[in-house]
A and B are shown apart, each in its own frame.
Chain A
Amino acid sequence: MNSLLILIAVVAGVAAIIQLVRLNETASALRKEKTEEIVTDEENNFMAWGFLIFMFAFFGFTIWLMAKYGMGGLGPAASVHGEDTDWLLKLNYWIILPVFFFTNALLFVFAFKYKYNKNRRATYFSHSNKLELIWTVVPSTALAVIIFMGLKTWVNIMFTAPEEGNPMVVEAYAEQFQWTFRIAGENNNLGDADYKLICPAFEYVDDHGDTVKFGGNPMGIVTKETVLAKLAHIDQLVATLNSDLVKATGANGDFFEPDEIINAKMEQIEILNTLKYRIESGIWPTVMNDTSSTNLAGMDDIYVPNDIYLIKNRPVTFKFRSKDVIHSAWFPHFRAQMNCVPGLQTSFTFTPNYTTKEFAELPETQAHYKEINEIHSEMQKSLGEEVENVDFNFMLICNKICGAGHHNMKRNIIVVEEGEYEKWYECEDFKEVTPVTPRLDIMGRPVVYEGWNSTSDEKLINHTNMAVENASKTVEPEMEIVDPVVSIDSTMNAIDSSMITDAHAPEQP
């Protein structure tokens, strides 16, 4: 009924407009403007003034935004090269803003000034080589400056020698929808990683008959242990599949289950065997020997499923890898960004020159976060929630569309003085410093783990931290590799779900 009324109202409105337009047209046809001008003087004047007023409004709006949000609205840069970038940005604005205002003003003022007048005739002025030369040469000169300064900064940022300033090496590993890190350990040398070795936590019996509790290998790091564990994991999966097939086979060789299921299982076995062959022939020879360089490089790497710590004034080289789709590691405060591309290792080196604490105390940051907290408290009050303040943190966020959880793929970066870093590094507190981001599934909803009946993010976070701790306890001493959360990416989730969930059975907090 309501929608019918709305429909009638809309139809009546449209009909009324049609009538008005027709009336207007009939009236002007009756007047039959003597001048036969297609645009009346009245309309012409109106539009000319309109342009002039619009110009002021438009400029005013732009200037208001500049005053309120600032050009380079990110606040001060927190890295050495970032200060150069900001200087370059400022230089560019000093060139383009005058051009923007001046050229727009010429356009609108001319439009206003040279509006139609039937007693005047336009000047026939069709070309002037001198003028053309001026506005080829002047922009070219300005651009030469911009290009020169731009390339100089670019070269400084991108072409640093790998060893310059003894950079700390950190790997950022992107996947839908979270970041994890790996620090290179004592030798400052990241071990190899191979996507074929990615493996959930599980238990197996090794060649000596010992039970090995494997903590998982979420980044695919290559060491002897991880290769052996992956091979054992494949064997387990194949064995389960085979026994399924045997159970499903009747006396006369027919299968009880539908063909699709049987075929899918057979196909899985084939895929797993191929994977095993590729690991045995391609990766195993490089780590067979305990003292091989690959093995040594990978052994001491530390997996950080949480916020990462950096040292003030020490260069850091981030190496980026992606597990699934393209992501982009965007560090807004450090003016650093690089895509994470599956199949390609990319890198970016920068030097943070403020600690998190120092940066948080800058007046700009204080003002920024004061404003944010005011907005938050207003919103939380209106919703009747408890007022919570947010604190400043350097951030790593995803800046390349990667799926439904793209907007929530973030980590804090904590910059400290060297001594404090050592403390963090030694006491392994880093596993519980800050809550990890709740994982999202491909629909962008938080993952709710089996046996876990709360949807509250906070509980999920606590739970995840516990999982990290529990998992870390089960790891062999020299292996710092843990799987912090129930791995939804485990091979053949459907088929061996029982096995995997057992290994991870989360406890109620």
Chain B
Amino acid sequence: MAGGHDHAHDHAHDHHHEESFITKYIFSQDHKMIAKQYLVTAIVMGIIGIGLSALFRLKLGWPDAQFPILEALLGSDAAPNGELQANWYLGLVTMHGTIMVFFVLTGGLSGTFSNLLIPLQLGARDMASGLLNMISYWLFFLSSVIMVISLFVETGPASAGWTIYPPLSALEETQPGSGLGMTLWLLSMTIFVASSLLGGINYIVTILNLRTKGMKMTRMPLTIWAFFVTAVLGLLSFPVLVSAVVLLLMDRGMDTSFYLSEITTSSGALAQSGGSPILYEHLFWFLGHPEVYIVLLPALGISSEVIATNSRKPIFGYRAMIGSILAIGFLSFIVWAHHMFVTGMSPFLGGVFTFTTLLIAIPSAVKVFNYITTLWKGNIKFTPAMVFSIGMVSTFITGGVTGIILADSALDISKHDTYFVVGHFHVVMGMSAILAMFAGVYHWFPKMYGKMMNKKLGYVHFWLTIISGYGVFIPMHFTGEGGLPRRYYDNTEIPMFDHFMDLNVLISVFALIGVIGQVVFFFNFFYSAFRGPRSSQNPWQATTLEWTTPVDHVHGNWPGALPEVHRWPYDYSKPGWDEDFVPQTVPLKPDEEEH
């Protein structure tokens, strides 16, 4: 499958082209097709996820108004007379969180770009195992379908928040959403994790074994480093989520009591006792925190690549960037309990986790300053991908500094679970990661479809996205500072928060603008995929290997021999060369230093 340089192999490839529709477009084992499948699935899931947020923002912005559209979309059980019901509000919030975190930002971001770029940027013919890769996608697809189906269950989807803490998620009598909807959620997540593990193993094996000649680990683009650490994080943390989910399923269906203790519900004293919901929280966040970096590292990798290419400058501090990716990856495993400062966990542990959490700010600061130095004295081309990457760095700064407040256990006492938290993690995950994902789509669209996306629509999309994003999430920090708890169906029940009424309207207006902005992207994406102008082989004049492949995809990526790598991927504007970029395949001049 990989690394064959001989002619027989290449010849054999020519015969693989006669593929049926099914093997080419549906059950494809080609990593480029799988990447596109991931992307399209994620875009569809993203539309659902962001659409749900628009629906519940209507309720939060105008708590007393009636919206016939809600009844039309969700049915008369969920929104009789256009008034969203409390259970459905929680259901929408839960599904929005789950879909965005797992299906868009994990499956979509890492699935799309790891699959597309790992073989292309390393000079491999395909992933180590095409079959596993295909199974991984189809499991992802299956879990997406199950998750969407759970929206149509009569008792409503899972509604315990995306973290589904038991006992709320374990006992059907505590809320209707903990019935069939929750079962489907758990089933879907189990399949999702299986998909992520198959994908992750494949990425790691490919990166370690299938690099082309000359592609040393220290010559890999930062995207690949990010995908590599991401895959390792996923491999180590996702199984813990499965164990948490399986124990929860057993508590729900088999009368075990891993998480249940001393509970009285409407059906009386529960016989199950002796467990602890805190156990679930530990297991969940042992995944949950690395998950944040599973989302963020690929975003940082993509931005590194896009910023260097479009600044026409080498990324500043390549080795420091690798070091900070590794440091973030390592630290992400020892910070999970900062989500649990006020759960009654030992205060001593709280102190320890404050310390480790704040340490993460150091490698993050290094990354930010390296990005900024990369721009300094650059020659910046504002391609759509570049503007999204600059937006990404800005949101990474903004979300990073507010994280410092939340990491401090003494301050978290009065910030925990308020809108301050919602604002913080949306700036980081909902903006940084999403903006980087868009940057990736605009940048590698020519590689995926051989066509160019429309630039002007890209700019419109960017401005709508960043303005509405900051417009939604910056005010949330202030309502959170005022103590407003998250996941409140109606913020007006408690009078002390009523002075935020105007602000809530403002947030909702920006949220709706944001949704409209995504329609622009949606249109641009599908229009360009079919009708966009044909791209050249290397439209951004980049140095990495993927731009040495032909515009039209071939199975095996390079029609001839695999390229050989002679230099690192960031030789932009190198003195001694006329062109302002030197591809990795160009040998060093006799007296040239690598970098």
Contact = CB atoms under 8 A, between A and B. Distances in A.
Nearest to B365: A139
B365 A135 contact: yes
Contacts of B175: 403-404, 442
Given A29-B533, A103-B397, A400-B417, A65 B475 contact: yes
Interface string B376-388: 1111111100010
A140 interface: yes
A139 to B, nearest CB: 4
A39 B455 contact: yes
Contacts of A99: 397, 401
A271 B271 CA distance: 8
30 contacts: A39-B455, A43-B455, A47-B459, A58-B470, A66-B478, A69-B478, A69-B500, A96-B404, A110-B378, A139-B362, A139-B365, A157-B410, A220-B264, A324-B265, A326-B165, A330-B416, A332-B483, A342-B260, A342-B277, A343-B274, A344-B261, A375-B498, A397-B485, A397-B494, A400-B417, A403-B174, A407-B488, A407-B490, A444-B85, A444-B86
Given A110-B376, A126-B570, A135-B366, A176 B174 contact: yes
Given A372-B499, A395-B494, A107 B380 contact: no
A383 B107 CA distance: 48
Contacts of A490: 268
Contacts of A397: 485, 494
Contacts of B263: 195, 323-324, 342-343
Contacts of A89: 405, 411
A332 B496 contact: yes
Given A158-B347, A198-B269, A122 B572 contact: yes
8 closest A-B pairs by beta carbon, nearest first, are A343-B261, A444-B86, A346-B344, A158-B347, A332-B483, A47-B382, A404-B86, A407-B488
Contact of B397 (A47, A107, A155, A372): A107
Q: How large is the interface on B (under 10, 10 to 19, 20 to 34, 35 or more residues)?
A: 35 or more
A165 interface: no
Contact of A324 (B264, B466, B527): B264
Interface in B464-501: 466-467, 470-471, 474-475, 478, 481-483, 485, 487-491, 493-496, 498-501
Interface in A394-424: 395, 397-408, 410
A143 interface: yes
A330 B483 contact: yes
A460 B499 CA distance: 28
Contacts of A198: 264, 269
B135 interface: no
Interface string A27-48: 0010000000111000110111
Nearest to A36: B536
Given A61-B474, A85-B411, A150-B409, A25 B454 contact: yes
Given A154-B347, A407-B491, A107 B271 contact: no
A39 B309 CA distance: 13
Given A111-B375, A399-B416, A444-B86, A125 B540 contact: no
Contacts of A124: 313-314, 572-575
A74 B482 contact: yes
Nearest to B420: A73
B410 A21 contact: no
A62 B474 contact: yes
Interface string A306-341: 000000000000001001111010101001111101
Contact of B390 (A51, A123, A408): A51
A427 B315 CA distance: 74
B382 A85 contact: no
A342 B167 contact: yes
B354 A150 contact: yes
Interface stretch (B16-24, B44-52, B214-222, B316-324): B316-324
Contacts of A159: 347
A460 to B, nearest CB: 15
Interface stretch (A113-121, A184-192, A284-292): A113-121
Contact of B264 (A21, A108, A323): A323
Interface residues of A, number: 136
Interface of B: 85-87, 90, 160-161, 165-168, 171, 173-176, 260-269, 271, 273-278, 311-320, 342-344, 347, 350-351, 354-355, 358-359, 361-362, 365-366, 368-373, 375-383, 387, 390, 393-394, 397-398, 401-402, 404-405, 408-411, 413-414, 416-418, 454-457, 459, 463, 466-467, 470-471, 474-475, 478, 481-483, 485, 487-491, 493-496, 498-501, 503, 523, 527, 531, 533, 539-541, 570, 572-575, 580, 595
Contacts of B570: 126
Contacts of B393: 107
A114 B410 contact: no
Given A124-B314, A155-B351, A96 B402 contact: yes
A405 B493 CA distance: 11
Contact of A147 (B276, B358, B370, B411): B358
Residue in B369, B393, B467 whose Cβ sees the most chain A Cβ within 10 Å = B369
B173 A442 contact: yes
A74 B410 contact: no
Nearest to B274: A343
A78 B374 CA distance: 48
Contact of B488 (A93, A375, A403, A406): A406
A399 B418 contact: yes
Contacts of A43: 382, 455, 459
B405 A126 contact: no
Given A54-B466, A92-B411, A407-B490, A343 B277 contact: yes
B262 A342 contact: yes
Contacts of A82: 414
B494 A96 contact: no
Contacts of A442: 173-176, 266
A493 B90 CA distance: 27
A324 B172 CA distance: 12
A100 B470 CA distance: 14
Given A371-B499, A442-B174, A103 B342 contact: no
B313 A125 contact: yes
Given A443-B85, A491-B268, A125 B377 contact: yes
